Amino acid sequence: MAMNVEVKENKLCIVIDLEPPKPSASGKTLVVASTRGNIVTEAEINGKPVIIGLNAYIKP
């Protein structure tokens, strides 16, 4: 999974690769992008790294 994170004009911009839909752990949704937990990024706010936990999904 490739993810690019940056702060532009006071907005957090996240670009993440889409994956083929896979069932979530519960089986209720199909995951199309995920960090699979929290990720410390190189983006910073007030000198501190931004941490992202992201799940993008669709309903079957």
Residue 49 domain boundaries: 3-58
pLDDT digits (tens, 9 = 90+) for 18-51: 999 999 999 999 999 999 999 999 999 999 999 9
Which residue has tokens 């309903």? 59
pTM summary value:
0.81
What's the confidence (pLDDT) of residue 7? 93
Sign of CA dihedral 41, 39, 26, 21: positive
What's the confidence (pLDDT) of residue 44? 93
**DSSP bridge pairs for 38:** none
For the chain, the domain total comes to 1
